[in-house]
Amino acid sequence: MKKKVTKAIFPVAGLGTRFLPATKSVPKEIMTLVDRPLIQYAIDEARAAGIKDFIFVTSRGKSALEDYFDTSPELESVLRKGGKTDLLQTLKSTYMDSGAIAYIRQHKPLGLGHAVWCARKLVGNEPFAVILPDDVIAADKPCLQQMVEAYEETGGSMVAAMEVPPAQSSSYGILDVKAERGPVASVAGMVEKPAPGDAPSNLAVIGRYILSPQVLRNLGSIDKGAGGELQLTDAIAAEIDQGRDVFGYRFDGQRFDCGSKSGFLQATVAFGLAREDLRDDFEAYLHGLISMRQAAQ
């Protein structure tokens, strides 16, 4: 029987330089989409997929992240006294069970693969998920849950996949697809950030993974890859060379690259419009703004 996926790694050690000066004192993962920090979206998605143990790979200057998941007795008592039941519920949804959350430090920025490898002792010898909080995915059924359901059929290792314009291949891990069945693609190889002419396809890896523990062992033995960093893509590709199954999963949903300013802005607009309590005013404002700009042209 396949082991259930109950552990997830959240690599959150990056400096977030693209968002300076905001990230000078606020970790990128605490930046808010509407009213929730990016990391909360990632946690909620993991919970929906059945994740019970949350492993954060952090670095210096990220203590605000640890505080975020703490209980907040003062706020709680103010909200309770004021009868603000909804807000109290919202606050409590940020709490984590005791012992369910662990923090590991990545002491040097040696790449995504290295960050994941730093968590190896907490994962042990079982399949695990990796969620990159920069990739925010709006979906009726959360992306990782879609993948866990597919994984229950396929086993192996699985990465979320999405088509990207060929010119953008050098921003992603790209899959070499062997065969496709519905949303599941069996993968013959994976390349990290190939130049457009070298990309084996336009199917890119998006930041959701279900990985076999062999990937952790591979991370301990592979060489540095693209950008001089230890790449997760290379450790997964090594599994294929070892004769193991690796799949890409074309998820249902819309992905926002919240690691870029433009992606973050797009997500803000999309998530704002999706909120019932904000939609009407916000939509009217956007319509007005666009008409004004068109009239001025």
Q: Rule CB under 6 A: which residues touch ligand G1P? A: 112, 132, 135, 172-173, 192, 204-207, 232-233, 259
DSSP, res 292: H
**Which is nearer to ligand G1P, 79 or 115 (by Cβ)?**
115
Q: How far apart are CA 207 and CA 42, in angstroms?
A: 10
Contacts of 74 (CB under 8 A, 6+ apart): none
Rounded to a whole number of angstroms, the minimum distance from the CB of residue 164 to ligand G1P is 9
**Which is nearer to ligand G1P, 193 or 244 (by Cβ)?**
193
Q: Which residue is nearest to ligand G1P (CB)?
A: 173
Rounded to a whole number of angstroms, the minimum distance from the CB of residue 127 to ligand G1P is 19
Helix, strand or coil, per DSSP, at residue 136: strand
**Which is nearer to ligand G1P, 115 or 123 (by Cβ)?**
115
Rounded to a whole number of angstroms, the minimum distance from the CB of residue 135 to ligand G1P is 5
Helical spans, DSSP H, in the chain: 38-48, 63-68, 73-81, 85-92, 112-118, 120-123, 143-154, 214-219, 232-241, 261-273, 276-296
**Which is nearer to ligand G1P, 51 or 204 (by Cβ)?**
204
Question: Do residues 219 and 112 make contact, with C-beta atoms less than 8 angstroms apart?
Answer: no
Rounded to a whole number of angstroms, the minimum distance from the CB of residue 95 to ligand G1P is 28
Rounded to a whole number of angstroms, the minimum distance from the CB of residue 52 to ligand G1P is 25
Rounded to a whole number of angstroms, the minimum distance from the CB of residue 111 to ligand G1P is 8
**Which is nearer to ligand G1P, 79 or 162 (by Cβ)?**
162
Question: Do residues 89 and 44 make contact, with C-beta atoms less than 8 angstroms apart?
Answer: no
DSSP string, 35-59: TEEHHHHHHHHHHHTT--EEEEEE-
**Which is nearer to ligand G1P, 55 or 174 (by Cβ)?**
174
Question: Do residues 79 and 93 make contact, with C-beta atoms less than 8 angstroms apart?
Answer: no
